[in-house]
Chains A and B, each alone.
Chain A
Amino acid sequence: MSVTFFILALCFGVTFAILAVIFLVVPLLKGIGWMIGGIFNSLGWVVRHVFEFVGGMLKDSVRFVGAIIAFVVLLPMALFNVVIGRWSASGHFGRSMKRECGVACTCLYRVLLQRPLRFVLLGGLLEGLEDRVNEAAVAAPTSDKPRRRTGTFEGYTIVGSLPGGGSGAKLYVAEPDEARRRRNPDLPERVVIKSFALTEGSTLPQIVRESRALEAAKQLGLVFEHGMDAIRFYYVMPYHQGDHLGIATRQLHGRSGGDGLDPKQVKEALGYVEDLLQTLTTYHEGGLWHKDVKPDNIIVHHGRANLVDLGLVTPLRSAMTLTTHGTEYFRDPEMVRMALRGVKVHQVDGAKFDIYAVGAVLYFVFENTFPAHGGLSRFAKRSPESVRWIIRRAMTDYNQRYDTVQLMLADLQAVAASADPWAVKPADLPSMRGSAAVAMDEPPAESARPEPVVVAVARSPVPPRPEPGHAPQRPGIRMTNWWTGAYEAVEPVQPHAGHAAARVIRQQVRRNAVSARRAAKEQIREARARAREIQRRAREHRYVTVGRPRSAEKGPSAAMAFVTLAVLMGAAMLFVGLLNGGPGDRHRDNDVLAMSSFNIPHADASVMGPLSLLLINDHPAATSAAVQGEIDRLVKLHREQGWEVILDDQEAEVAVRMCLPTGPVDPDAANPLLRNTLLKFNLGGVLRIKSVPGEGPPEQRIESVMIAVPDSDDAPLLRLVVPAAE
């Protein structure tokens, strides 16, 4: 009894000891380790901090002395050149002295003020001096009066000036006199005159660019009048007093404590962006694209944001080529790519680039920094999830972002109208209505199977577009003055009654054709199913394999399958071709390719679609002699069967690669994306060179796979392994 008790007590004691070690000693040791690590880290930081300070002081001191020496050396050289009358050289040395002087002053400032304060962790004291004072100096207005040779502006009294932008123009604040105001009652008390003078550094292209959308801007009330003479071009626009949105944003964050906007500031910020979107609505409805939406061009006054700067305003229907003008971080990179490709303005929807810029402005307002990496920019500060969603939707891919500013405005207003913006979920936004329901309707996942290559075409609903019949169409434009860009709006042509009748007939014919095609497709599908069944049986009997060739006598079933399939499909194609009234649209539905594991199918245009194969070389030893030899052999082999093998079509190759499966090919997986891409490039298939897994040098492990166009979107990928050379 006592022995049993002793053993039990011993077991209990040992268990308790183990548990104590696990739950008490281990965490204790961990904690001690963490503390020691922390102490060492802190010590390391202090040592590093001291060394940085000492090193920096030494470096700056030495640089200061060096700059003084250089200054002293340059001084006699500059003076000497003045004495001998070499003005250009003396100017050159004078500029070098100025640079050395700047270096010396910077070093002195660092040694006396910046480094000591940073050393005692008071670097924040200098923020205002280094950043804000500098910014204010850069943004200081230019001369209040135009130069004498630029002259005055008749009917206006200049009362001040504004900092000029990148266009080389001068901006003057002016007051119209009584006579001018009587003539134009819309003129406010103060206006801004933007003046370009060839004598003051402006160039003709700048003037042409600025004048491009002037008439349209006048119609929208954005410009009151304009004038031009031999040396000068100017226009008059409303004056909005206040700070730009960048400064307003800094103030908002200053009031919120720096960790993101508080609810009150969120409302204010959303209000600014709402104003911006409303202004852009006017632009876009008037057929204009602002093209330079950024915080610096948004003036905040009395709680209202005003969009200014018409420097890049462009008619949406302009026939000109896209340019890369705009401001980095607020300009859609896709626009740059399109511009580099030479796309015309009227071929794109410029309004969408403004939407991108508004998304970037919204990001800037909430994060107090630029969206450094476009739509993928991270959110580091506190903000409602719905606002993040709006920003991302505005800055996403060109085809997936908001279609109009009105849609974005509706989403923003939904958030702004809420008592608690954090309570609004993305699902509650007007643009998301319907998306969730569609997402729920998707078929269940089949995680065990490899992913079919259809991801890129499965799009969720974008914000609803207006019905085509009821959509407010943008007015057409007829140019009346090519110099000023003046144009008049042309109402969209209403469909004529006769056109409507013709449309009904066309629809009827199309419906008949569709039902006929459907019947034909049904037959093709049955034929394919039968062929697949035959193949399956053949595979069970080891007649058809993927890989090495089999002797012909072993594959009567497969050969039979091929013949049956070809005959059935040929008949079906003939049927579809007759229904469609000729070969015009044949390649959409008639592009069926018979497959065999034994022989390369003969290229027959009456049965198959396009007869070109694109060669894609994915072999790791792509340039080796063995692979190149195999390619030559394959090209010859396919050409004998009537195929044209395309070896170098980069555009097609890149597009096709995007659609090729990377993993093992599922014989039942549909790949409509690949099919459509191949058809787009008029290709009948792909000939892909790869290496097969195994031992030995990769040059000896070559596999060539022919992937052919399937007959419909939901048909499986047709795949044929071409036997390697013996």
Chain B
Amino acid sequence: MNTLTTSFVSRLRDRDETAWFELWQVFGPVLRGQLTKWGKGRIGAETVRDLTQETLAALSDSIDRYDPSRGARFSTWLLAIAKHALGDEIDRRMALKRGAGRKPMEFDERFMSNAAAVEADDVYEQNVFRAKVYAAIQRTEPEADFVQFQVYRMRVFDGLTGKDVAEQLGISEPTVSRHLHRIRALLRRRLAETIATYSFTEDEQREALRAGLGDDDSTFDDALRDIYFRQSQLLQQDEAAASAAF
């Protein structure tokens, strides 16, 4: 664990509401997607939303007992807790259905020892990674100059040519290149920081390089665009589920 991760975990431990809100914002959609998948139609979207909050609440209770030396990945850690919360919820429902009102299972530290054994499929891992990258983009936007960020967005995310961007904004093409260069540099910095914050292992920290978010500018832009689109789709699905639930 690096100092960014430890300081973030410390904030969580101190019940810093902003940190919890951040975690909810970044990983809420991924967790909801995973719980929906596991629920296999047995639980509705509204319950999934409640469950995700429960997951984070469980995380809040158990975070003091987290031992970084066990070597679990950040994503596996979240997943183990989510799985535990889901099992707990289904047991509770079954108990209620029988009318016995059985007390739900106590949340204990078992998930911690089981964390390494939890099967984190590739889709989930990819979703968690994309959530991290998306969080980095979100962090970059308020920090970057508005016009410069829009130039990057129009060029990379919207797919306009440099000439079109220059024409739309009334600036020269070299200026467009300069803006792109600056935003890319800022994105790289925030990306490194965000991934470091939400990673427990070195392997997680190297994910960005494996995904093409390295030094090559064109590969970096392509990879970022791909992640942005995929994460947007996930968020749209999450939003559609939320609309259906309410």
Contact = CB atoms under 8 A, between A and B. Distances in A.
A456 B150 contact: no
A462 B238 contact: no
A456 B145 CA distance: 7
A480 interface: no
B99 A92 contact: yes
B170 A373 contact: no
A620 interface: yes
B182 A455 contact: yes
Interface in B184-205: 185-186, 188-189, 192-193, 202
A370 B238 CA distance: 12
A281 interface: no
Given A370-B239, A439-B147, A451-B185, A96 B99 contact: yes
Contacts of A658: 143, 193
Interface in B219-246: 228-229, 232, 235-236, 238-239, 243
B1 to A, nearest CB: 7
A440 B2 contact: no
Contacts of A616: 3
Contacts of B99: 77, 92-93, 96
Interface string A131-156: 00000000000000000000000000
B168 A425 contact: yes
B171 A439 contact: yes
B148 to A, nearest CB: 7
Interface string B9-52: 01100000110010001000000000000000100000000000
Contact of B146 (A329, A372, A397): A397
Contacts of B178: 442, 445
Contact of A340 (B18, B142, B235, B236): B18
B235 A372 contact: yes
Interface string A641-672: 00000000010011001100010000000000
B2 A622 contact: yes
Nearest to A378: B232
B172 A340 contact: no
Contact of B171 (A400, A428, A440, A456): A440
A10 interface: no
Contacts of A392: 150, 153
A161 interface: no
Interface in A317-341: 329, 333-334, 336-337, 340-341
Contacts of A657: 4, 193
Contacts of A432: 169-170
Contacts of A398: 142
A297 interface: no
A264 interface: no
A278 interface: no
B97 interface: yes
A375 interface: yes
Contact of A620 (B2, B7, B68): B2
A400 B144 CA distance: 10
B175 interface: yes
A96 B2 contact: no
A372 B238 contact: yes
A9 interface: no
B64 interface: no
Given A333-B25, A650-B10, A455 B175 contact: no
Interface string A505-526: 0000000000000000000000
